[in-house]
Amino acid sequence: MKTRWIGIIVWSIVITVLLVIEVAEITHLFTLPISTALGDPLAFVFALVFTTLLALVGAIFVGIYISHRLLSPAGFSPFEEEMLRMRADLREVKKMVEEMRRPPESPPAEPPKDRAP
């Protein structure tokens, strides 16, 4: 239970940081003039790395969402339901075979009758 809360806190912090970065991008806080970006290779590399990191984080979030939707329990598939029915049928057949293998119970022996000649 503790790890669940740690996970929630970590992901909340990551999402908050990404939202702050996105707001800074929208408000042109990180924007450099084109001539500066093209003239300074370090700024150009920084922009490429920054954009790549944001794209990777977005792809990870999309992957997490899709995998969660695919793996969340939503009942049995038709194949699984058929396998469960076959399992129940197999149990019934086993019981019937065991009953057939069991020796029949013989009725109690009757005492011999006296025969008079």
DSSP result, 36-64: HHHH-HHHHHHHHHHHHHHHHHHHHHHHH
pLDDT band at 36 (very low <50, low <70, confident <90, very high): low
**Interior CA angle at 32 toward 18 and 40, to 5°?**
110
Closest CA to 43 of 56, 52, 34: 34
CA atoms of 45 and 68, how far apart (whole Å): 34
Percent of the chain at pLDDT exceeding 70: 81
Q: How confident is the model at residue 97 (pLDDT cuts 50, 70, 90)?
A: very high
55 in Cβ contact with 49 (< 8 Å):
no
In the chain, where the domains are located: 2-76
- pLDDT confidence of residue 20: 85
